[in-house]
Structure 1
Amino acid sequence: MSLPSSFRSTYVFSRRTLAAALATLAAAGLLTACGTGDAATDEVAPKGGKGTGINLGPDQHRIREQKVDAIAAELPAGVRDRGTLSVGVATGSVPPLSFYATDDKTPIGVELDIATLVADTLGVKPQFQPVSWENLFVGLDSGKFDGVFSNVTVTEERKDKYDFATYRKDQLAFEAKKGSGWKVGGPQDVAGRTVAVSSGTNQEKILLDWSEQNVKAGRKPVSIKYFQTATDYYLALQSGRIDAYLGPNPSAAYHVASAGQTEIVGTYSGGGAGLQGEIAATTKKGSGLVAAYAAALDHVIQDGSYAKVLARWGLSAEAVPRSEINPRGLPRVAK
């Protein structure tokens, strides 16, 4: 996501704030840890939940692919001969995108899993390079990175300098207490409701617009609430002080899967009305890599490994049917 200017989404989780939130939930008896007790196999799952939970350990047992020679042949000769793919990922991001495992040094997450599938299909070894958000683009510009897999949204402005091969929808989500029986599909569904949102984010802008539309239509406005931390949002949900929290779908889906006390009651494009935002593998414009990325992504989408990765992190709702090269992006920001 990480949209420019007023379209920027702020994620409420970091590795440590996630740990604090989960610790609070565990203390309240809402969360249990599974596994052998070894830090390398740490997992989180809802109390009494079925299955193995979400693996947060450094040994990820990632889903892997086989090399496809015809697709690997689309790589530029220099990359193919080198045998490695330098991949930029953002540090300090949010579960389940790219974050650190329980050893606090191994990067894990859905973005790394998808990049691994692509690299396997291309017959090269991924070399992950965790950097700050702004340095992802510095690395692309300098040629340090062959690509970035780090929740980058396609925008018209970014297309001036970079090529894109899409692999996930850019989605926001309304998260409510489990069993609410409530579904959100548009402004009318939040009229008179109390919804929390992070200040200065794209989702706040959308919620304010919806509230204004409700008032103009003679419906009640939205009561918008703001909290300081992820823990505060989730405790407010459990106590009934808010009806829902509107935030990025990946963090909401992760919380639903790990805590088991909430549910997603509606999703909405991060691009707003009339445009489905798209998350994409990003490479320097004209590098010759984007066609290989798109072909590899199409292959893993078709053979099912892509779906398994998304399901592993609770992001099946963000699946795309195919990878598109440089699709319509979020509009330019007026200067």
Structure 2
Amino acid sequence: MTTLARPTLAAAALATAAALSLTACSSSARTAAASDAQATPVANGVSINLSPDQNRFSTPAVAAIASELPQAIRQRGTLEIADSSGGAAPLVFYATDNKTQIGVETDIASAVADVLGLKPHYNAVAWAQIFVGLDSGKYDVAFSNVTDTELRKQKYDFATYRFDNIAFEAKKGSTWKVAGPDDVAGRTIGVDSGTNQEKILLDWSAQDVKKGLKPVTVKYFTTPSDYYLALASGRIDAYFGPNPTAQYHANVSGQTQVVGVFSGAGSTLQGKIAATTRKGDGLVKPLNEALNELIRNGTYGKILARWGLSSEAVASSQINPPGLPNTGS
């Protein structure tokens, strides 16, 4: 996703700011929204801690895995982690202090650093800058809901850690359902630039045109508050983004609903989210082994359960499995 600006407290933590009230907010309504944002939300039956005091699950270092790290990283003693500066709950987002990044991605990254005997150092940047930083060596690894794709695999190595599903989120009460390309023909859909869901949406639109149907009108947004405002005002019919974010927001806000869920790798393959590192830099193997250690010792399962994402658990981390096909589009 393209995320250039830090979201406000209400938008980032709960994504329930003005976008979530389907009419304009008065001053008192805005005050109530801010108060609600600091409450403890419940998603998928799980109470979510939005405070900066996260008490993350920790795990012991494993010397045999740490010894496989590139020497420069071992000597430095830190793992330079890139993540999105404008993500949304429950993936990576800002706590109630509006400066501490929290979420399932930061929890997993922190636990991986534990196994590797390193101190995690988070670098919150715009989506595109994640890859620029990996290319230059500024960042060691990205934990930011990055999908394994064949195109990305030309430049990056992947160690998978979660199923990748994407979803269409529409206003509550909508009778429209999305089962495939025909259902979005002529619709206006919001999406983040540079994501695999954008690629899938543009491919679906092209399929619609070939069938003689209307193309999809694609609208681009940079922050959760922007696309939820567009959804609330009717400027878009749905937003197409990560399923965890859509499910969390629909559950917590009560003003939207998920109208279609799909694999992030297309119709023929189950997508995977992966730790992403520069190709051939020697880091993917210890990352993979660290993730498998977390799966083995139960820390991984606890982290996913904490964020209501147990349904996205993988049985093991894989290195560079088949990803979203490169169609050349």
Alignment pair present for 1:64 and 2:64: no
Contact 1:172 1:203 in 2 (8 A): no
Question: Is the Cα contact below 8 Å between 2:92 and 2:106 reproduced in 1?
Answer: yes
Separation (CA, whole Å) in 1 of partners of 2:204 and 2:274 = 25
Equivalent residue for 1:233?
A: 231
More moved, 169-178 vs 151-160: 169-178
Gap runs ≥5 in structure 1 = 3-9, 36-41
Give the letter aligned to residue 121 of structure 2. Answer: Q
The answer to whether 1:110 aligns with 2:104 is yes
SS at match of 2:17: helix
- Secondary structure of the corresponding residue to residue 305 of structure 2: helix
The CA RMSD measured in Å over matched residues stands at 4.1
Query: Which residue pairs with 1:18 in the alignment?
Result: 11
Q: Which of the numbers 316, 321, 326 marks the counterpart of 2:315?
A: 321
Using the size of structure 2 for normalisation, the TM-score is 0.74
> Aligned in 2, Cα 1:212/1:138: closer, same or farther, shift over 3 Å?
closer
What pairs up with 1:122-133 in 2 under 5 angstroms?
122-133=116-127
Distance 2:184 2:104 in 1: 34
| Cα drift, residue 208 of structure 1 | 4.2
Gap change, CA 1:183 and 1:230, over 3 Å in 2: closer
Deviation per CA, 1:149-193, whole angstroms, max 9, x where unpaired?
1222222232222211111222112446779999866579x599x
Do the aligned residues in 2 keep the contact of 1:97 with 1:109 (CA within 8 Å)?
yes
> How big is each residue's C-alpha offset from its partner over 1:242-267, in whole Å with a ceiling of 9 and x where there is no partner?
7x764321320220342245554642
Q: Structure 1 residues 333 and 183, CA, compared in 2 at 3 Å: closer, same or farther? A: closer
Would you say the 8 A contact 2:166–2:262 is kept in 1? yes
Bigger Cα displacement from structure 2, 137-146 vs 258-267: 258-267
C-alpha separation in 2, matches of 1:92 and 1:315:
20
Given the alignment of the two structures, is residue 303 of structure 1 paired with residue 297 of structure 2, yes or no?
yes
Task: Please say if 1:251 is aligned against 2:245.
Answer: yes
Residue deviations 1:285-318 (CA, integer Å, cap 9, x gap): 2221111111111121233322222233333333
Look up the match of 2:41: 45
Aligned counterpart, 1:287: 281
The 2-side partners of 1:162 and 1:149 are apart by 13
Q: In the TM superposition, what is the alpha-carbon distance from 1:23 to its structure 2 partner?
A: 3.3
Q: Please, which runs of 5 or more residues in structure 2 have no aligned partner?
A: 22-28, 221-225
CA distance in 2, matches of 1:88, 1:322: 23
1:6 equivalent in structure 2 = none
Task: Report the Cα distance in structure 1 between the residues aligned to 2:44 and 2:314, rounded to whole angstroms.
Answer: 27
Q: What is the rounded CA distance, in whole Å, between the counterparts of 1:144 and 1:72 in structure 2?
A: 20
- Change beyond 3 A, Cα 1:158–1:52: closer
Number of aligned positions between the proteins: 309
Note the C-alpha offset of 1:321. 1.7
Q: 2:189 aligned to 174, 191, 197, which one? A: 197
Q: Which of 147, 152, 162 is the equivalent residue of 1:158? A: 152
Aligned residue for 1:83?
A: 77
Seq. identity, %: 47
Structure-2 change in CA distance of 1:14 and 1:65 (3 Å): same
How far did 1:62 drift?
1.4
1:285 and 1:265 map into 2 onto residues whose CA distance is: 37
Distance 1:224 1:288, change over 3 A: closer
Partners of 2:120 and 2:51 in 1: CA distance: 19
* 1:126 positional shift: 0.6
- Given candidates 298, 306, 325, the residue that maps to 1:331 is 325
The answer (yes or no) to whether the contact 1:72–1:121 under 8 Å persists in 2 is yes
SS at match of 1:198: strand
Q: CA deviation at 1:120?
A: 0.9
Residues 164 and 197 of structure 1: CA distance in aligned 2, closer, same or farther (over 3 Å): same
